[in-house]
Structure 1
């Protein structure tokens, strides 16, 4: 039985958020724009989402968390994303989920990154699953991207859920970084926090494209052997991860929060997982613009606000 804590949100209008984000983006990029537009059909290329839009019954969930990874992986922390949708009180008739988490190692055969992307119609048993996982080839260290056959996730996952309907969204574009913040997602998140502080939480979910330029991603390798455990601290976990610089175009699925309500929910403040839109074997957990290629970096994103946060099975 999942343990779930709900926090209701009352976000400002998208128009107000667009105005709040213009200055921080302009300070960080040579070119940027924030506007409210009708959502493009995100089922179409280059996005390939399982839903057309990001509107209707908008919610986010933070499930599990990084403490499930260290000091040693908690291999019993496995969930079905359709069960998570039920814990989020989503409409069982129709809806969709996207986000970032750890993959179903028990299905794939090893630990991996997960980019959830699924929808359902006429019941949560009727799923269109376009989820990808990103893994490290144990033999040669190469990155491998594949479509998941499972709706399971493990350890931790951050999800944005909606009815998947068309509707107004925030369109955010940025090109050629000039400021100190190297992460597009963190630039947005920190801009919201600067505008609203800790008194009002703004939670966004959606997609963005690294249209061009190079960014840095990590991919978790398979779990360490028992002899290599436990991880002594978070620094050891960071050293265990594998890091890769990849060129765009890469599509990213993202969930972020301007603040943790009352600093009491233990939220992961930003989580973004990605994979190539061209079929290239590139992707993973998005970090930031790479050291080389920043002069060519270009982003295009579409986001909507959540009306509730569900904290599920907090470690």
Structure 2
């Protein structure tokens, strides 16, 4: 049984957070609109999620961690999403987020974009290197697998999947150096100081292109000891909009060895993976929906840790 630690976030009101995000994002984007809206029906395009919303007892889980992947992988680290929903005290939760596949099930190493409401629907996507041409191979997880596993690490946002009030963010034409998620995190940092705040949801890169990585199908045989080692091992691509992203972000680690931001994306045109930033700042358009989380659950925190490979 994995060790589970629980922490209560500082939870700003949506009204307050709207102003914080507007002020911060205006420093990084030419055109910004932030407002409180009813969550759109996420079963519709472009999202096509198995539930209508992202509201209802919102919480975040940081599961495993990069130290289980590098310097060398610990392949025995496997997690079940239904079990994690129970460990987050929300059985049957709708889960969004980013993680690695269970190589025990898939047979290779790959990225997974979680979108799940079990036992009813597993809507996850898996992005891996296409063995035929070295490009991206994006598949719906349930087309080949019936399990609910992931491996090594995952950053998850969970809720009841209900409609409700959310923060809508529109940001066009990036002028700053940081990616969209980092800009949001830095906006929170600037306002809330030492108060830990967590947030999750979904956003779409509506126009433009983005830098995305996919892990190679084979784990590295040589230890990956530095960020340079990790970057040389990963496979990078420039992928085109629209890309549907699942961000999980935390400002200020309250002492749980967290990955502070992690975003995976999928699409309906066959591309997806781990989001780094847009590569077309002059034309990029973002549309996102976010909810502040009430609780953090740290599941199976590594006993030995490091800061390599957390970008």
Matched, 1:101 2:105: no
Q: Which structure 2 residues correspond to residues 17-56 of structure 1 after superposition, within 5 A?
A: 17-56=17-56
- For 1:309, which of 276, 296, 301 is the aligned residue? 296
Partners of 2:219 and 2:159 in 1: how far apart? 36
> Where does 1:223-242 land on structure 2 (aligned, <5 Å)?
223-224=218-219, 228-242=221-235
TM-score (norm: length of structure 2): 0.93
In the alignment, the residues of structure 2 paired with residue 166 and residue 34 of structure 1 have an alpha-carbon distance, to the nearest angstrom, of 19
Unaligned runs of 5+ in 2: 303-311
Matched ranges for 1:226-305 at <5 A: 228-261=221-254, 264-276=255-267, 279-290=268-279, 293-305=280-292
Please report the RMSD computed on the Cα atoms of aligned residues, expressed in angstroms. Answer: 1.2
What's the CA shift for 1:119? Answer: 0.9
Q: What 5-or-longer segments of structure 1 have no aligned partner?
A: 121-125
- TM-superposed CA distance for 1:21, in Å, is 1.1
Partner of residue 136 from structure 1, selected from 101, 124, 129: 129
Aligned counterparts of 1:258 and 1:286: Cα–Cα separation in 2: 18
For the 8 Å contact 1:73–1:223, the answer to whether it is kept is no
Q: Is the CA contact 1:31–1:175 (under 8 Å) kept in the aligned structure 2? A: yes
Task: Provide the residue aligned with 2:174 in structure 1.
Answer: 177
Task: Report deviation, 1:294.
Answer: 2.1
Contact 2:109 2:219 in 1 (8 A): no
Shift of 1:234: 3.1
Q: Quick check: 1:2–1:87 contact (8 Å CA) kept in 2?
A: no
CA contact (8 A) 1:65 1:155 kept: yes
SS in 2 for 1:100: strand
1:289 Cα deviation after fit = 1.4
Deviation at 1:114, TM superposition (A): 0.6
Among residues 180, 192, 196, which one is paired with 1:201 in the alignment?
A: 196
**Partner of residue 309, structure 2:** none
Tell me the TM-score normalised to structure 1 length: 0.92
